[in-house]
Amino acid sequence: MERIHDPVIFQNAIDGIDLKNNIIATYYLSDRMPGVDFIDHYKLIESIAIEGSTGSWQRVEEESDEVREMLSGKLVGYYEIPTDDEYRKSAVIQLAFPINAWHDNVPMMLLSIAGNCFVYSQNLRLLDVTFP
C-alpha cells in the first residue's frame, strides 16, 4: 500500500520529541480555495517541514531515509481553527526541527524556520519559536 504522507514527518507528538535537541516553531496556516470542500493542509505542512530542514521538496540522491529521519522537520502539533467560511481551512501547527541540521549556523537556522513564511506569505505566519 502506498503511503499518502511521510510517516517520518507525521507520526510524532510533542511529548515524544527531545526538546533539548529540537527547535519548536509555531505557525498559523490558512488556505482558501473557492469551490473546494477539502483542503489538504498536510501536503503544505510536509513541504514546509522538509524544505525547512533537509532542504528540498524533491528527493535528492544524498538524502537517504536515515538522513531524512534524523534531520527532517516533524509535525508535533496540529490544531484546526473553526471558521464560518466553508472554503477556508485554518490551523495552528507546530514543527520540531533538529538543531543538528545547522550546527552553529544561526543565519541558516533562522532562514530554515522562517524562510517559508516569506514564500507563503499570504498563507503562513511564524508565531513563535522555542529554542532548546
Half-sphere CA count of 10, side-chain side, radius 13 A = 12
For residues 98-114, average pLDDT: 82
How many angstroms separate the CA atoms of 25 and 27, rounded? 7
Whether the per-residue pLDDT at 1 is higher than 60: the answer is: no
Whether the per-residue pLDDT at 51 is higher than 90: the answer is: no
Looking at beta carbons, which pairs linking 38-41 to residues 24 or more positions away fall under 8 Å?
A: 39/89, 41/78, 41/89, 41/91, 41/93
Amino acid letter, 110: L
Domain boundaries, the chain: 7-130
Fold (CATH) for 7-130: Alpha-Beta Plaits (3.30.70)
Whether the per-residue pLDDT at 20 is higher than 90: the answer is: yes
What's the pLDDT tens digit per position in 53-89?
666 556 666 666 666 666 678 889 989 899 898 888 8
